[in-house]
């Protein structure tokens, strides 16, 4: 989340203060298919051939387009699908609550409706890791591997109470997104403003699409709704924190918050060296504890990557997923 705190949030705040108006960004054409999952449709985009099928689950505030560069690489090896949760990207908004149980059930219905049969290797980033565990808990016979990409942990909310300044920053980011929903609805949130924050691994045309999708009111609302349900999601993830002997790779970042934000931004947010060190210690402990989700697990640290490991260590993420695909064949 810190990448957006330093860039997107500050840009949106500046826009609010200046009152700059612009036409609402049009939705680009969907690359994949829209599938009804029970009263609303979700977008799924699949590439490649082979089994098992890799299913990519994005983090909070992110959609399928964030994975496009990684998906292109994985599709050379096997069938690979990325999708937009309700409200994100090209998907229609879904019913509340936007918690793990709802999201896992919708992914189940989406894959079934799209005709994308298992077995699956799941790869989930950030809170998407918990959604992946929820899906695996629902479908133990179909999931043959899981890669947790700097994943959230069911106990992280309790653990992070030891660093309230970090929690305050996370809350500020969500409040910032909630505060610009009206602007987006009125067409006063230009895509050009957030375009510099697009995933650097995407080619320029896809960065343009990312910006157009990011400023859609439904996408902003979806991120806020998922954060509002995070307490229930964490409880449900704790109940799903056992996938037996399903192979799991915990892929963790090696660079902490201090390497993600300029020193002046850290100071302004109250993130002192002591707070940062304590946060990194807590996060490292949570990542190590994720190994307990399976009796067949291992951890790989991406030493030169921040939270968005699949941007900065794309080859490492590809290798981890491909390892589990090969084992399942």
The mean per-residue pLDDT over the stretch 277-285 comes to: 96
The mean per-residue pLDDT over the stretch 251-279 comes to: 89
Residue 178 is predicted with a pLDDT of 84
In a domain, 30, yes or no: no
Alpha-carbon span 96 to 222, nearest angstrom: 10
- pLDDT, one tens digit per residue, over 172-219 is 888 888 888 988 998 889 999 999 999 999 999 999 999 999 999 999
Question: Model's pTM, two decimal places?
Answer: 0.93
Least confident of 9-13, 43-47, 61-65, 215-219: 9-13
pLDDT at 264 over 90: no
Residue 23 is predicted with a pLDDT of 52
| CATH number for the domain harbouring residue 244 | 3.40.50.1820
Which residues, at least 6 apart from 14, have a Cβ–Cβ distance to it below 8 Å?
Answer: none
pLDDT at 12 over 60: no
pLDDT at 135 over 80: yes
The mean per-residue pLDDT over the stretch 264-288 comes to: 92
Q: How many of the other CB atoms lie within 10 Å of CB of 161?
A: 11
In a domain, 286, yes or no: yes
In a domain, 172, yes or no: yes
Residue 187 is predicted with a pLDDT of 86
Alpha-carbon span 159 to 156, nearest angstrom: 5
Alpha-carbon span 220 to 218, nearest angstrom: 6
Alpha-carbon span 201 to 314, nearest angstrom: 9
In a domain, 323, yes or no: yes
The mean per-residue pLDDT over the stretch 241-264 comes to: 92
What value does the mean pLDDT of the chain take?
92
- Position with higher pLDDT, 12 vs 187: 187
In a domain, 133, yes or no: yes
Residue 306 is predicted with a pLDDT of 95
The mean per-residue pLDDT over the stretch 314-324 comes to: 98
Residue 298 is predicted with a pLDDT of 98
- pLDDT, one tens digit per residue, over 55-66 is 999 999 999 999
Residue 196 is predicted with a pLDDT of 95
Residue 8 is predicted with a pLDDT of 41
- Position with higher pLDDT, 80 vs 3: 80
Q: Which of 182, 172, 209, 169 is nearest to 15 (CA)?
A: 182
Residue 25 is predicted with a pLDDT of 61
Residue 267 is predicted with a pLDDT of 84
Alpha-carbon span 64 to 85, nearest angstrom: 9
If one counts the domains in the chain, the total is 1
Query: Torsions phi, psi of 43, nearest 5?
Result: -95, 130
Domain extent for 93 = 2-18+37-328
- What percent of the chain has a predicted confidence (pLDDT) above 70? 92
Least confident of 15-24, 165-174, 228-237: 15-24
- pLDDT, one tens digit per residue, over 92-120 is 999 999 999 999 999 999 999 999 999 99
Q: Which of 116, 133, 143 is nearest to 37 (CA)?
A: 116
Residue 259 is predicted with a pLDDT of 82
The mean per-residue pLDDT over the stretch 231-243 comes to: 98
Alpha-carbon span 71 to 48, nearest angstrom: 9
The mean per-residue pLDDT over the stretch 238-248 comes to: 97
pLDDT class for 13, splitting at 50, 70, 90? very low
In a domain, 108, yes or no: yes
In a domain, 155, yes or no: yes
In a domain, 156, yes or no: yes
């Amino acid at each position: 989340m810190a990448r957006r705190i330093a860039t997107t949030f500050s840009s949106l705040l500046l826009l609010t203060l200046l009152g700059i108006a612009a036409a609402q960004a049009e939705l680009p054409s969907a690359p994949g298919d829209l599938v009804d999952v029970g009263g609303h449709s979700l977008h799924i985009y699949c590439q490649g051939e082979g089994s098992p099928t890799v299913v990519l689950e994005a983090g909070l505030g992110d959609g399928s387009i964030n994975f496009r560069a990684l998906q292109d690489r994985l599709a050379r090896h096997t069938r690979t699908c990325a999708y937009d949760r309700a409200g994100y990207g090209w998907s229609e908004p879904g019913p509340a609550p936007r918690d793990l149980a709802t999201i896992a059930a919708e992914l189940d219905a989406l894959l079934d409706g799209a005709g994308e049969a298992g077995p699956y290797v799941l790869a989930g980033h950030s809170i998407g890791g918990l959604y992946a565990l929820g899906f695996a808990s629902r479908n133990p016979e179909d999931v043959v591997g899981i890669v947790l990409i700097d994943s959230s942990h069911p106990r992280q909310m309790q653990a992070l109470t030891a660093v309230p300044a970090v929690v305050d920053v996370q809350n500020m980011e969500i409040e910032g997104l909630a505060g610009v929903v009206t602007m987006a609805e009125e067409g006063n949130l230009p895509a050009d403003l957030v375009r510099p924050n697009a995933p650097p691994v995407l080619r320029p045309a896809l960065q343009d699409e990312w910006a157009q999708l990011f400023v859609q009111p439904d996408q902003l609302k979806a991120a806020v709704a998922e954060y509002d349900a995070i307490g229930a999601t964490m409880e449900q993830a704790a109940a799903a924190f056992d996938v037996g002997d399903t192979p799991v790779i915990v892929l963790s970042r090696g660079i902490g918050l201090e390497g993600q934000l300029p020193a002046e931004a850290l100071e302004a947010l109250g993130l002192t060296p002591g707070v940062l060190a304590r946060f990194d210690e807590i996060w490292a402990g949570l990542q190590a504890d994720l190994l307990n989700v399976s009796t067949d697990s291992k951890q790989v640290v991406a030493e030169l990557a921040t939270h968005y490991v699949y941007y900065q260590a794309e080859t490492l993420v590809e290798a981890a997923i491909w390892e589990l695909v090969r084992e399942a064949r």
